Each structure stands twice: as C-alpha cells, then as structure tokens.
Structure 1
Amino acid sequence: MVTAGEHAGPDGAGVFRALHHHRAPGDPLVLPGPWDAASARVFAEAGFPALATPSAGVAASLGYEDGRTPADEMFAAVARITRAVDVPVSADVEGGYGLAPKELVERLLEAGAVGCNLEDSEDGVLQDPHRHADRLAEVRAAAGDRLFLNARVDTFVRGITDPERVIERAALYVAAGADCVYPIGAPAGVLPLLRSGIEGPLNVNALPGRGPSPAELGALGATRITFGPGLQLRAARALREIAAELLPK
C-alpha cells in the first residue's frame, strides 16, 4: 500500500514519461483505466507498468453521468486509486473543472497523479485551439516536469472528420508543452497519417473485445493505448450476467 502523492513529482512523472518513448512499432504502452481502488489493484497486480483513469468510468462508479462529477469527488477518487497501487497513475480531469492552472496542478499532485488528460471541448463544443493552447502552456508552466500532459483533441467526436484539423491542433498543443496528443475517436485508417503529422507520442483509444488490438493500433502509429470507460462497461456487463444467474428462476 502506498500513500497518495508517492508517485507525484519529477521522479514519478519522469518514470511515466519514459514509458512513452523508444517504443517499437506494434508495442504501444497499454494503460488500463481503473475506476476505483479495487480495479486499480487488479490491473497493477496483472503487471501493467502504469494506469490512466477514465473520467466516465470514475463517474459511473460514483453514481454520476459522464461530465457531471464534482471536482472534489473526482480528485478524491483519483487519490484512492493512487493510494491503492505502486505504479504511476495519470488522471482524466476532463476540461479541468474551471480551475486555474496552478490550482489544477496542485490538486493533481495532491491526489498522487503523475499526469493528466485535458480535453479541448467544453459542454460538447470545441474550444478555440489557440486559447486552449494558451491554457495548456499555463498548466505546463505551473507543473514544470512534475506532470505528463496529455492533450485530448476532440475533433472526431465533434463531427469534424478531416484529420488535418487534428494535426493543426496537435501542433499548437505540442508547442504549448503537451507531452502527448490524444485524438479521441480517430478511425484506425487515419492513424498512419496522424502519426506522420504529429510530433511526439500519440494516444489512441481501443475498444475492448472489438476492433483492432493494441498491437495492431501500435503498428498503425499509436504510442499508447487507453480504453476510456470501456473496461468499466465490460465489467458492468459481467456483473449483470452474474446478477441474472443469482435471481430465482
């Protein structure tokens, strides 16, 4: 058992950052998404070197709809997860809950996170990329090297299918200090184009049990694989099956 904050700071973030570099094609960093302390322990004990919480999965575990979790509850949930495992944990904090960059960084570090996702849409609307890049730069300035900054690009999930729009946003975000770019919802077929046009690590979401495998996505250009709430949803389906078996016939 560890305490929240043990993996925060330059060393924890440095270990996490190093996991993203010098990876062979077809060997992406696979980061399961724990939604509570128990699931985090399962993934850590299975041998994964790091984890990345999904905001939607955590929201479901707390009884909220995606995007409706109060900031205090999200950070408390992240802290319970980081205390439960001895591997680095990155946290999905959606758009940052309206917190000033310095406070956001402090809350993440207090919770024991070594990195975070920050998305570039709010209430379903894409933000101006230059304004979002300015915010990322402020978060980077406040965090220094203490956090790994994963910049989520929401164009595909907001109906903009031109991959060049992703590449344009990614360039701004990397220049602002993002360690990684996450074009959520990107079709597998455009990954080689995104890989050729985006500097640094590329995060791709996989669908557990469906679509290309993590290794196949890695061969297409993904540096790291996350699953959003997919693992929590799969676990919920398994529980529903168990519950059905328990009911009197």
Structure 2
Amino acid sequence: MNHVDTFRALHHRRAPGDPLVLPGPWDAASARVLADAGHPALATPSAGVAASLGYADGATPAGEMFAAVARIARAVDVPVSADVEDGYGLAPKELVERLLEAGAVGCNLEDSAGGVLKDPRRHAEFLAEVRSAAGRQLFVNARVDTFVHGDGDPERAIERAALYVAAGADCVYPILAPVDVLPLLRSGIRGPLNVLARLDGEGPSPAALGELGATRVTFGPGLQRRAAAALREIAAGLG
C-alpha cells in the first residue's frame, strides 16, 4: 500500500472516540519528532510553516511553502498532507503537480480568500478540477470557513460541505466550528469530518471530539506556537 492509500485508509472505519490525530509539523526537525512519537501521518499547518519561515500567516510565497512541505515529506516515512491555503491562485493541474512533486499525499484547500468567503459553487468547481487532475493521488480536505469569515450558521456550513463532497472532496473541515454544533455537522455532512483541537487545555480532548463526531483532529499552528513559547522561556533563562 502506498502512502496516499495508507493515508486514505486511516480516515475510514474509525470507532467513536478514536479519531485520527494529525499533528502539524512546521519543519523537518519537528516532523521527525512527531513521526518518532508514533503518529501514523502528519498534516502541515500553513500558519506554523509561515512562522518558521518568517512570514505572517497567509503571506508565504507559494514556492517557499511547497519547498517547506518537500523538506518535511522527505524527512519522514509517514504520509504528509499539506495546508496550501486557497491554492495560491494556481490552476488545478499545476497545484496538483506541485503537491505531488513535494511528496504530499493530501492537501487542505480553503473556501475563503483575504478574509472573504468564496462563492461556494465556483469553489466546488475548482475542487472538482483538482480532483480530476489528481485522481486518487491526493486526499483533498475541503476547509469550510463559515465559522471564521461567515455568519457562523451551521446550516450554511452543511450546504457548502455538500457541494464540496459532491465535487470530490475526501474530507470536510469546518474550522473553528463551536463544539456544541459538531453533532449537527456530523449528522449533516457525508464522509470524514476534520475538527480543530486546542492545546491550551480549554477545549475537549481529541477523544472527546471524536465522540462528538470528529473523524480526524488537527491542531493548526498550535504545536509550533507551543514550541515557540517554550523556546522563549528557555531563552529568558539563558542570562
């Protein structure tokens, strides 16, 4: 079984309370630490990678992002999915080619740009073209930004998700969806559901998110920010 088939299989037949936990490496060193800890797959966070490269979230040039993903994928022997924001304006065929060249088995694609939600039908058409270009070579995680840049209506999120799944998305990611709406989202969305977990101890554990409907759990730039905070503490004590 190749990496993409392994990655796809990890999303299916999961028991409630046992979601796929995908930590987010921001460079090759962090990827090795996470893989050595026994995680079966990893998912890069665009904001964490941006910070490691000295950019603000959303400001990383496409070439630098793909190069960072390639370094991470080369460093480990587990599947790596890449957050490539809204696709950097690349045509679907080129986007797929660059992801595959970087060694990614999957990607996150946002349905907003510049803080504004895209037209969902046009975005679905884009996802369908990505799916057509990728075939089975990429696992596409369609991010739904209703709770970030929209009105927060879960029904609107479900409507968007339905369009994206019909277009060929393998998974749906309603980022920052409130915990209390997760059961509704789970009941209304077909296929795997990605949920963002917090690392500050204030939110539910990955297992609890799984009980609420999460198929997979990611952490955004949470790990990179925790690592940066730890380094600041160490640096302050160096004298």
- TM-score, scaled relative to structure 1: 0.95
2:223 to 211, 224, 231: 231
Instruction: Tell me whether 1:241 sits opposite 2:237 in the alignment.
Output: no
Shift of 1:158: 1.0
C-alpha distance after superposition, 1:148-184 (max 9, x if no partner): 0000000101141210001000000000000000000
Distance between the aligned counterparts of 1:177 and 1:21, measured in 2? 16
2:211 to 208, 219, 223: 219
1:109 to 100, 123, 145: 100
1:191 to 182, 186, 198: 182
Within 5 A, what are the aligned runs for 1:11-50?
11-50=2-41
SS at match of 2:220: coil
C-alpha distance after superposition, 1:129-163 (max 9, x if no partner): 00000000000000000000000000101141210
Instruction: Tell me whether 1:160 sits opposite 2:168 in the alignment.
Output: no
SS at match of 2:237: helix
Conserved 8 A contact 2:117-2:150: no
Distance between the aligned counterparts of 1:190 and 1:231, measured in 2? 25
1:180 to 168, 171, 175: 171
Q: CA RMSD in A?
A: 0.8
Distance between the aligned counterparts of 1:56 and 1:217, measured in 2? 22
State the one-letter code of the partner of 2:230: A
Instruction: Tell me whether 1:64 sits opposite 2:55 in the alignment.
Output: yes
Instruction: Tell me whether 1:93 sits opposite 2:96 in the alignment.
Output: no
SS at match of 1:240: helix
State the one-letter code of the partner of 2:206: P
Structure 1 portions without partners, runs of 5+: 1-9
Aligned length: 238
* Aligned counterpart, 2:124: 133
Distance between the aligned counterparts of 1:114 and 1:59, measured in 2? 20
State the one-letter code of the partner of 1:51: L
Runs of 4+ in 1 over 4 A off after TM superposition: none
Distance between the aligned counterparts of 1:159 and 1:237, measured in 2? 31
SS at match of 1:86: coil
SS at match of 1:23: coil
Instruction: Tell me whether 1:205 sits opposite 2:204 in the alignment.
Output: no
SS at match of 2:109: strand
SS at match of 1:42: helix
- Identical amino acids, percent of aligned pairs: 81
SS at match of 1:207: coil
Distance between the aligned counterparts of 1:160 and 1:77, measured in 2? 34
Distance between the aligned counterparts of 1:184 and 1:36, measured in 2? 23
C-alpha distance after superposition, 1:50-91 (max 9, x if no partner): 000000000000000000000000000000000000000000
State the one-letter code of the partner of 1:166: A
